[in-house]
Amino acid sequence: MVIMTDTAHPTAAELFELSDNQLRGRASLKWSTVEPDVLPAWVAEMDVALAPAIIDTLQNALLRHDAGYPGQSDDVVQAFTSFAEDRWDWHIEPEHISFHVDAATAASKLMRHYSGPDRSVIIMPPVYNRFYDWLAGSGVKPLEVPLTNVPNGGFFDLDGIEAGLNAGTRVILLCNPHNPLGRVFSQQELAELADLAHQYDAVVLSDEIHAPMVYQGVEFTPWLTVSDTARKTGIALHTATKSWNFAGLKCGIAIRSATGPWPAELDPTMTRTDTGFWGLLATEVAFRDSRPWLDTVRDHFQSQTDALQRLVAQHLPGVTFHPPQASFLAWLNFRDTDLTEEPADYFLREARVALSPGINFGDAGHGYARLNMGTSTVRLERIIAAMGSAWPPR
């Protein structure tokens, strides 16, 4: 593949200077599906300019009239494995990678294959709302084992997980870094989960799509580097589409170990044309040439977390959230306030701000809402000030 190298490194202020009118001109989901007077802070899209190298790559493909089936993927594999080695000290053999339409497609294949006669999968709500769609589409049912102590970040309920495994469930669907909590689980926590899965011959599917956006000073441990036991039990799911903001281009990555599970339908020879051609192009240039863009955006969100703490304290007294350790989502806790209805419904009606309803993330999401802070600090201030104008509830 002929790829232009990213030599321009815009600042965060430049990347996030898009106006409301520019954003409302987008046809993608976040801004196009809300009314003109609503500030959207819901679905996980960023209000950011794409990395210059990604733009150049896609423009060049269009100018070549190059929009056919995916060709060889060696360059994409090299870009991802180099990124994983550099950022996470994770050595991946190229033959242990396969590409898919997205993480959901790979996860669905894996859940169908490994869920066994019980046809259930352990999930740990509040958790990424699309997990429920993945399960339903795969013909398996969720076995919910809620995280404990969510106001302080969320922790595995190992006793509850073991009860589910003991009852016959053989798949654990893990989200790390966690959506919506932004929690990055420690190596020790993951090792304990791996030991439990191995004890019951269960498979762990580790959704790690927010991993490139882990904040400075926080250590992300990929599942397949946790321990020998984890390598025997797990498959990791990755993508560049979330952290570089091109979800519409579609490209998911599944990674195995030499000693772990791997069904034949995920073999690279079986999935070579399963992903989008432009998704592969963008993925390659993201992991290889767009690291400065990623670091700029990540650092902006790390600072944005500090700004959000200040803004929530100023405009929404009584509302709390545990600062995320990755990405651009915040899990707002309204349980200790006088608000008696779904927070997202209230703020859409009273403040014209669109949040993601907490209940979409499982029953454990009652009294919460997910806020997308993937925007400029100025726009985030407008969002929280608008919410504050309707607070406290009347």
Is residue 66 in a domain? no
Question: Model confidence over 306-350: pLDDT tens digits?
Answer: 999 999 999 999 999 999 999 999 999 999 999 999 999 999 999
Among 289, 310, 333, identify where a domain stops.
289
Question: Where does a domain end: 241, 269, 289?
Answer: 289
Same domain, 271 and 295: no
Tell me, yes or no, whether 236 lies in a domain. Answer: yes
- Candidates 302, 319, 310, 317; CA nearest to 373 is 302
CA–CA distance, 335 with 371 (Å, rounded to integer): 16
Report whether pLDDT(3) > 80. Answer: no
Residue 97 lies in a domain: yes
Residue 6 in domain: no
Residues 178 and 251 in one domain: yes
Q: Does pLDDT of 268 surpass 90? A: no
Residues 193 and 332 in one domain: no
Average pLDDT over residues 274-292: 95
Confidence band for 270, pLDDT divided at 50, 70 and 90:
low
Q: Is residue 3 part of a domain?
A: no
Are 175 and 32 in a shared domain? no
Same domain, 282 and 363: no
- Compare 265 and 151 and report the one with higher pLDDT: 151
Structural domain count of the chain: 2
Q: Is 195 domain-assigned? A: yes
- Asked whether residue 24 falls in the same domain as residue 81, the answer is no
CATH of the domain at 307: 3.90.1150.10
pLDDT tens-digit series, residues 161-199: 999 999 999 999 999 999 999 999 999 999 999 999 999
State which of 247, 270, 289 marks the end of a domain.
289
- Bridging pattern class, strands 368-372 and 203-207: unpaired
Q: For residues 317 and 333, state if they share a domain.
A: yes
Instruction: State whether 258 and 385 are in the same domain.
Output: no
> How many angstroms separate the CA atoms of 368 and 370, rounded?
7
In this structure, the answer to whether residues 97 and 216 fall within a common structural domain is yes
Which range of residues forms the domain containing residue 310? 12-51+291-389
Same domain, 283 and 298: no
Assigned domain for 329 exists: yes
Paired tokens of 30: 């976040």
Q: What is the pLDDT of residue 272?
A: 67
- One domain, residues 306 and 230: no
- 258 located within any domain: yes
For residue 208, give the CATH number of its domain: 3.40.640.10
Q: Please, what is the average pLDDT of the chain? A: 95
Task: State percent of the chain over pLDDT 90.
Answer: 92
DSSP string across 334-392: -TTSS--S-HHHHHHHHH-EE-EEGGGG-GGGTTEEEEE--S-HHHHHHHHHHHHHT-S
Same domain, 379 and 324: yes
Res 1: pLDDT: 33
How far CA 79 is from CA of 31, 202, 238, 364, in Å, comes to 32, 31, 13, 38
pLDDT tens per residue, range 106-139? 999 999 999 988 899 999 999 999 999 999 999 9
Question: pLDDT at position 264, please?
Answer: 84
> Over the stretch 157-167, which tens digit does the pLDDT of each residue have?
999 999 999 99
Three-state helix/strand/coil letters over 134-156: HHHHHCCEEEECCCECHHHCCEC
What is the separation of C-alpha 383 from the centre of its chain, rounded to a whole number of angstroms?
22
Question: Of the candidates 153, 82, 142, which has an alpha carbon nearest to the alpha carbon of residue 324?
Answer: 153
